[in-house]
């Protein structure tokens, strides 16, 4: 089977949850013998030749599109805002660009167009309609609800305006896209139930995948960057996302002071991508709090902590960080939102807190004992293992024309 995979951003290097989710799916599809053509967008940092080579290990064809900042491109986006939400407008190809991509996809001759992340939906839908190829979509969140929560968490006029533009037209766009999809896959059972309550019958479940054995390259990076420093409490996440920022600030201002009453010497590591100024400032003035910016290895960060935390207060879908933390056999303290969307069978491995007081008590309890959490490898692999993708391949084959 051949699949043209339209990714809303370049999936490699897998430096945050969304990319990790896509990259593992790409590797799993390749392992199932699926031939892949990848179309993806990039911005800010141009992909290196080494990164493109790595993508080619799993995809026969790769087409990367730059999200440009030119004035004419921005003018086009303003016009497109009359119909589309902000993140979609940056991924609507110009007419000549669409023609080139159309020819490339025709030459590849895929059986299906697989949209990974709905913000690339304008292109994926065009390819599906013009080439008469079924469209399959993988949702990362209930996006219109997720962005509404992001808007409520945004601070500053610029950020509020940006998130407002992300929300307009989004619900209509998202529902229309899912209706056009022959199948859509949801990241969590909770999100799938939401769409089913809305009358959708073409949804299926496809949770994020886990890797249970590090490859040689990951081991090499870990050994090179392994931190000798250890911390009592560790958080890792994208530190430019509003919900992560709000969660970290909440933990440092409302939870940590209560912990320090009983454990005054406790140390905290906050690690992640592109921290906003608010995170940098609060870490600088908080005693015993350390900041790791753009760490090269998630594994070394998690291994450096005695207790891992997810203090996120708002969101949607499944939190990739929560799934990742399960691999390390350490106590994990999370808010209710941090475990939302996870199967009930794995929630028992988390200490779940309802408010700042219970969160601090759970952290203190975890730090006061030296017991590791023994997660069942077989259980995790049955839910999040690469073999799950085999069922997806079979379902997609069942919708193809005979």
Give pLDDT tens digits for 87-131: 999 999 989 999 999 999 999 999 999 999 999 999 999 999 999
Residue 317 pLDDT class (50, 70, 90 cuts): low
- The proportion of the chain whose per-residue pLDDT surpasses 70, expressed as a percent, equals 94
Residue with tokens 């999370």: 334
Range with lowest mean pLDDT among 219-228, 294-303, 320-329, 339-348 = 219-228
Give pLDDT tens digits for 176-197: 999 999 999 999 988 999 999 9
Average pLDDT of every residue of the chain: 91
Tally of CB atoms within 10 A around 196: 12
What pLDDT, on a 0 to 100 scale, did the predictor assign at position 213? 64
Is the pLDDT reported for residue 281 higher than 50?
yes
CA distance 32 to 51: 22
Give pLDDT tens digits for 23-78: 999 999 999 999 999 999 998 889 999 999 999 999 999 999 999 888 888 899 99
Buried b (16+ CB within 10 A) or exposed e, 67-102: eeeeeeeeeebeebeeebbbbbbbbbbeeeebeebb
Give the gyration radius of the chain's Cα atoms: 21
Q: Which residues partner with 85 through β-bridges?
A: none
In this structure, the strands spanning 61-66 and 183-186 are: unpaired
Answer for the pair 330, 348: CB distance below 8 angstroms, yes or no.
no
Per-residue H/E/C for 155-189: CCHHHHHHHHHHHCCHHHHHHHHHHHCCEEEECCH
Residue 224 pLDDT class (50, 70, 90 cuts): very low
Residue with tokens 């993140």: 87
Q: What domains are there in the chain, each with its CATH number?
A: 2-209+386-399 (3.40.50.2000), 217-381 (3.40.50.2000)
What pLDDT, on a 0 to 100 scale, did the predictor assign at position 232? 97
Is the pLDDT reported for residue 376 higher than 80?
no
The residue ranking higher by pLDDT, 372 or 241, is: 241
CA-nearest of 34, 36, 56, 43 to 10 is 43
Residue 374 pLDDT class (50, 70, 90 cuts): low
Is the pLDDT reported for residue 228 higher than 60?
no
């Amino acid at each position: 089977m051949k699949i043209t995979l339209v990714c809303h951003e370049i999936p490699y290097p897998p430096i945050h949850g969304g990319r990790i989710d896509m990259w593992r799916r790409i590797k799993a599809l390749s392992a199932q013998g699926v031939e892949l053509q990848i179309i993806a967008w990039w911005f800010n940092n141009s992909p290196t030749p080494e990164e493109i080579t790595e993508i080619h290990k799993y995809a026969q064809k790769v087409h990367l599109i730059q999200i440009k900042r030119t004035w004419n491109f921005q003018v086009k986006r303003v016009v497109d805002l009359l119909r589309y939400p902000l993140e979609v407008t940056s991924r609507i190809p110009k007419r000549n660009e669409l023609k080139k991509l159309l020819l490339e996809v025709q030459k590849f001759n895929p059986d299906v167009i697989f949209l990974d992340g709905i913000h690339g939906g304008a292109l994926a839908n065009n390819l599906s309609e013009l080439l008469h190829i079924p469209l399959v979509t993988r949702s990362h969140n209930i996006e219109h609800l997720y962005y509404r929560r992001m808007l409520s968490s945004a601070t500053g006029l610029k950020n509020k305006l940006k998130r407002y533009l992300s929300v307009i037209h989004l619900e209509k766009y998202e529902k229309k896209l899912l209706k056009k999809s022959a199948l859509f896959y949801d990241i969590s059972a909770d999100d799938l139930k939401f769409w089913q309550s809305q009358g959708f019958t073409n949804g299926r479940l496809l949770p994020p995948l886990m890797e249970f054995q590090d490859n040689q390259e990951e081991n090499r990076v870990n050994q090179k960057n392994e931190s000798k420093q250890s911390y009592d409490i560790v958080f890792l996440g994208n530190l430019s996302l509003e919900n992560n920022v709000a969660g970290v600030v909440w933990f440092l201002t409302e939870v940590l002071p209560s912990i320090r009453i009983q454990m005054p010497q406790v140390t905290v590591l906050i690690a992640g991508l592109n921290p906003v100024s608010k995170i940098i400032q609060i870490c600088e003035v908080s005693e015993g709090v350390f900041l790791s910016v753009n760490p090269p290895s998630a594994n070394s960060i998690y291994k450096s902590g005695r207790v891992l935390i997810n203090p996120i207060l708002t969101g949607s879908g499944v939190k990739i960080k929560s799934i990742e933390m399960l691999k390390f056999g350490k106590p994990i303290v999370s808010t209710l939102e941090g475990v939302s969307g996870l199967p009930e069978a794995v929630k028992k491995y988390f200490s779940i807190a309802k408010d700042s007081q219970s969160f601090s008590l759970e952290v203190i309890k975890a730090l006061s004992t030296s017991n590791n959490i023994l997660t069942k490898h077989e259980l995790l692999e049955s839910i999040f293992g690469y073999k799950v993708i085999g069922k997806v391949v079979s379902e997609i084959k069942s919708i193809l024309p005979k």
